[in-house]
Amino acid sequence: MLRVIVRRLLQLVVTLIALSALIFIWLRNLPGGPIEALLGERATPERRALLTKALGYDQPILVQYAKFMQRVLTGNFGNSIRTGDPVTEVIGRAFPATIELALAAMIIAVGLGVPLGYLAARHRGRLLDNLSIAGTLLGISIPIFFLGYLLKDVFTQNIHWFPPSGRLSTGVDNTNVTGFFVLDGLLTREFDATADALWHLILPAFTLATIPLAVIVRITRASVLDVLNEDYVRTAEAKGLRHKTIRGRHILRNALLPVVTTIGLQTGALLSGAVLTEKVYNWGGLGTLITDSISGGRDYPVLQTLILLAALVFVVVNLLVDLSYAFIDPRVRVR
Amino acid sequence: MSLLDVRDLSVVFQRRGERPFTAVDEVSFSVEPGQTVGLVGESGCGKSVTSLAIMGLLPRRGNKVSGQVMFDGADLLALRPDDMRDRRGRDIGMIFQDPLSSLNPVVPIGTQVAEVLERHRGMDRKAALKEARELLDAVGIPDPNRRLKEYPHQISGGMRQRALIAIALACKPRLLIADEPTTALDVTIQAQILTLLKQLVDETGTALIMITHDLGVVAGLCDTVNVLYGGKVVERAARHELFARPRHPYTHGLLNSVPRLDSPRGERLHAIRGSVADNIPWVEGCAFAPRCDNVVDACLEGTPPLEPTATGGDLRCNNPVTEEVAVP
pLDDT of residue A69: 86
Query: pLDDT tens digit string along B127-185?
Result: 999 999 999 999 999 999 999 999 999 999 899 999 999 999 999 999 999 999 988 88
**A331 contacts in chain B (CB < 8 Å):** 105-106, 151, 153
Using an 8 Å Cβ cutoff, are A99 and A59 in contact? no
| Contact criterion met (CB < 8 Å) for B107 and A250 | yes
Which chain B residue's Cα is nearest to A239? B89
How many contacts (CB atoms, under 8 Å) link A and B?
Answer: 78
**B55 contacts in chain A (CB < 8 Å):** 238
Tallying the residues shown for chain A, one arrives at: 335
**B151 contacts in chain A (CB < 8 Å):** 330-331
pLDDT, mean over chain A: 86
Using an 8 Å Cβ cutoff, are A279 and A287 in contact? yes
| Contact criterion met (CB < 8 Å) for B105 and A254 | yes
pLDDT of residue B55: 94
Minimum distance, in Å, between the CA of residue B67 and any CA atom of chain A: 21
Chain B interface disruption, residue of A124, A223, A230, A232, most B CBs within 10 A: A232
Query: In percent, how much of chain A has pLDDT > 70?
Result: 99
Q: In B, what residues contact A, Cβ < 8 A?
A: 55, 57, 85-90, 93-94, 96, 98, 101-107, 111, 115-116, 119-120, 151, 153-154, 164, 167-168
The pTM is what?
Answer: 0.84
| Contact criterion met (CB < 8 Å) for B119 and A232 | no
Q: Which residue has the higher pLDDT, B264 or B229?
A: B229
**A237 contacts in chain B (CB < 8 Å):** 57, 88
Query: In percent, how much of chain A has pLDDT > 90?
Result: 29
pLDDT band at A249 (very low <50, low <70, confident <90, very high): very high
**DSSP character at residue A249:** I
pLDDT band at A41 (very low <50, low <70, confident <90, very high): confident
pLDDT of residue A11: 85
The partner residues of B22 in beta bridges, in order of sequence, read B12
Lowest mean pLDDT among A105-114, A230-239, A262-271: A262-271
Residue A275 has pLDDT above 90, yes or no: no
| Contact criterion met (CB < 8 Å) for B57 and A237 | yes
Q: What is the DSSP string of B203-272?
A: HHT-EEEEEES-HHHHHHH-SEEEEEETTEEEEEEEHHHHHH---SHHHHHHHHTS--TTSPTTPPPP--
| Contact criterion met (CB < 8 Å) for B93 and A328 | no
Pairing of strands B21-31, B207-212: unpaired
**DSSP character at residue B88:** B
Closest CB from A234, A245, A328 relative to B115? A245
Question: How far apart are alpha carbons A113 and B265 in whole angstroms?
Answer: 67
Using an 8 Å Cβ cutoff, are A260 and A319 in contact? no
* Domains observed in chain B: 4-222 (3.40.50.300), 235-262+269-315 (no CATH)
pLDDT band at A8 (very low <50, low <70, confident <90, very high): confident
List, in order, residues 6 or more apart from B62 with CB less than 8 Å away: B13, B14, B15
Query: pLDDT tens digit string along B54-92?
Result: 999 998 888 899 999 999 889 999 999 999 999 999 999
Q: CATH number of the domain at A94-296, out of 3.10.180.10, 1.10.3720.10, 1.25.40.10, 1.10.1740.10?
A: 1.10.3720.10
Residue B327 has pLDDT above 70, yes or no: no
List, in order, residues 6 or more apart from B287 with CB less than 8 Å away: B229, B230, B232, B279, B280, B281
Chain B interface disruption, residue of A235, A241, A247, A252, most B CBs within 10 A: A235
Report the half-sphere exposure of B143 (CA within 13 A, side-chain side): 5
| Contact criterion met (CB < 8 Å) for B104 and A236 | yes
Query: pLDDT tens digit string along A169-227?
Result: 777 777 777 778 888 777 887 888 888 888 889 999 999 999 999 999 999 999 999 99
pLDDT band at B325 (very low <50, low <70, confident <90, very high): low
Q: Own/partner pairs for A77-84, CB < 8 Å, 24+ apart?
A: A77/A301, A77/A305, A78/A301, A79/A301, A80/A293, A80/A299, A80/A301, A80/A302, A81/A34, A81/A37, A81/A38, A81/A55, A81/A297, A81/A299, A81/A300, A81/A301, A81/A302, A82/A37, A82/A292, A82/A293, A82/A296, A82/A297, A82/A299, A82/A302
| Contact criterion met (CB < 8 Å) for B89 and A234 | no
| Contact criterion met (CB < 8 Å) for B106 and A241 | no
Closest CB from A235, A240, A253 relative to B102? A235
pLDDT band at B326 (very low <50, low <70, confident <90, very high): low
**CA B222 to chain CA centroid, nearest Å:** 11
Mean of the pLDDT values across residues B23-45? Answer: 92
Query: pLDDT tens digit string along A111-126?
Result: 999 999 999 999 998 9
Minimum distance, in Å, between the CA of residue A335 and any CA atom of chain B: 12
Residue A43 has pLDDT above 50, yes or no: yes
pLDDT of residue A215: 94
pLDDT of residue A335: 45
Task: Please count the helices (runs of H) and the strands (runs of E) in chain B.
Answer: 10, 12
Tallying the residues shown for chain B, one arrives at: 328
| Contact criterion met (CB < 8 Å) for A331 and B105 | yes
Q: Which residue has the higher pLDDT, A169 or A266?
A: A266
Q: Which residue has the higher pLDDT, A308 or B232?
A: B232
Mean of the pLDDT values across residues A235-251? Answer: 94
pLDDT of residue A333: 65
pLDDT band at B324 (very low <50, low <70, confident <90, very high): low
Mean of the pLDDT values across residues B33-49? Answer: 91
The structural domains of chain A, with segments of one domain joined by +, span 2-73, 94-296
pLDDT band at A334 (very low <50, low <70, confident <90, very high): low
Mean of the pLDDT values across residues B186-208? Answer: 89
| Contact criterion met (CB < 8 Å) for A334 and B164 | no
Lowest mean pLDDT among A299-313, A319-333, B97-111, B273-287: A319-333
